[in-house]
Amino acid sequence: MNKTETPDIINSSVYDVEKIRSDFPILQTKVHGKPLVYLDNAATSQKPISVIMKAQEYYSSMNSNIHRGVHALSQVSTEAYEGARIKIKKFINALGKNEIIFTRGTTESINLVAQSYGRMNFNEGDEVIISQMEHHSNIVPWQMICDEKGAKLKVIPINDNGEIIFEEYEKLINNRTKFVSIVYVSNSLGTVNPVKQIIDLAHQNNIPVLVDAAQAVNHLPIDVQDLHCDFLAFSGHKIYGPTGIGVLYGKVNLLDAMPPYQGGGDMISSVTFEKTIYNELPYKFEAGTPNIAGAIGLGEAIDYVQKIGIDNINKHEKELLDYATAAVAEIPSLKIIGTAKNKVSVLSFVLDDIHPHDIGTMLDFEGVAIRTGHHCTQPVMDRFGIPATSRASFAMYNTKEEVDVLIKGIKKIIEVFG
Ligand code: 7TS
């Protein structure tokens, strides 16, 4: 296809899921002799061939370190790496490419803000607000810096549907509050949080907000200028890109004022034993040789998502979630955990007297991959008084037929356990 041609999927008003599936080699494979039904997308998504080929192309024709060589290869790889940064800037509508920092993923992005912004700004008695539905990676980094600084972590509770109780958030805000860090979409419940309102209220009180968009960026359109968020974190591997690459978006004035997170090559403009002058943004936060192939692969993944259209993906996934939710409603011994009005992609459930690990293992024999456990959200499990859930999570390439296989598998398990 030449560059001016538009792929079929855009021209068609019908979402061509079979065409999309054919772009993902792993979806053609079998597990235990059964066609793979991959419903563990919240853990990591599968990769389209264009992303896989990009890594190969990088290592076979571009491999070279960036920002340092005058030789041709180094210039090509630098251009590709910086080109990926520009794609990401456009994708989330950042103001400038210097607001896009490559990291290893959401976890590292949050740690960067906690260790850099937090260390500079938090003092004894200060408070940091998170919610009860955070992934551990949006809890522990704040606990670490709060412990160090004598600051306190405050938690917005969630209701029985797995939604933030906004009035409780309002009550938590006071003149000791120094930061709010909130998940956009919960990985264990599927809840979509009203992040814009959360940010607005924080800003009325001059409090900066970080949005953990790990489970949002692949399902919802993200516009950081519209959200007005101060920081936003996501991982490449959840949006059909490689592992080991992620993004921290930060407003330029905040990033500029923050000290580096790690020291090393590339993050400096000059070094003597007496004094080091740090590099400008975004390089100040990218110490050492980065995951060059990963960044370029993430750029390719974003191209793929944009070709299909995030709104189209969202609509398709919503249909799957509604279909699956209606189907499991017919199973009396099954209880859905996470029944928020605004939800995407995730169906977490428990079955009377059957442990999630047994469910996961038995579904695996049917070729169905789901995740079971606490999903790195132990406080959510505690809130619902359960040790674990079984979680099916949907992506752009899943089908209603796959949901049928899941439901059939669940019914079989119930039969076997009597
Ligand atoms: N935040 C949320 C909301 C997440 O779902 C995850 C990963 C992370 C942060 C951390 O992302 P990482 O790429 O840095 O590891 N969530 C999951 C999950 O639900 N199953 O496996 C990983």
pLDDT value for 200: 98
> Which domains can be identified in the chain, with CATH numbers?
17-44+309-417 (3.90.1150.10), 54-306 (3.40.640.10)
* Cα gap 216→222, rounded to integer Å: 8
Q: How far is the CA of 214 from the centre of ligand 1 (A)?
A: 6
| Ligand 1 binding site (Cβ under 6 Å of any ligand atom) | 42-43, 105-107, 135, 137-138, 183, 187, 212, 214-215, 235, 371, 375-376
Q: Is the pLDDT of residue 174 over 90?
A: yes
pLDDT in tens, 90-127: 999 999 999 999 999 999 999 999 999 999 999 999 99
Average pLDDT of the residues in 257-277: 96
Q: Is the pLDDT of residue 192 over 90?
A: yes
Tokens found for residue 199: 């940010």
pLDDT value for 38: 99
On the 0-12 / 13-18 / 19+ scale of CB atoms within 10 A, 404 is: middle
Q: Is the pLDDT of residue 2 over 60?
A: no
* Cα gap 176→164, rounded to integer Å: 21
Task: Examine the residue annotation and report whether 376 is marked as an active-site residue of this protein.
Answer: yes
pLDDT value for 68: 79
Average pLDDT of the residues in 9-32: 86
Residue to probe by mutation, ligand 1, list 133, 238, 345, 347, most atoms within 8 Å of CB: 238
Q: Is the pLDDT of residue 229 over 50?
A: yes
Question: 322: Cβ–Cβ under 8 A, 6 or more apart, which residues?
Answer: none
* 141 cis-preceded (ω within 30 degrees of 0): no
Q: How confident is the model at residue 13 (pLDDT cuts 50, 70, 90)?
A: low
Average pLDDT of the residues in 376-393: 98
Q: Is the pLDDT of residue 7 over 50?
A: no
The ligand 1 atom nearest the CA atom of 237: 13
CA of 33: how far to CAs of 30, 274, 343, 365, in Å?
5, 64, 33, 9
- Residue 46, Cα to own-chain centre: how many angstroms? 14
Q: Is the pLDDT of residue 69 over 90?
A: no
Q: How far is the CA of 12 from the centre of ligand 1 (A)?
A: 33
pTM of the model: 0.96
Which residue among the candidates 36, 140, 153, 376 is catalytic per the annotation? 376
- Residue 305, Cα to own-chain centre: how many angstroms? 14
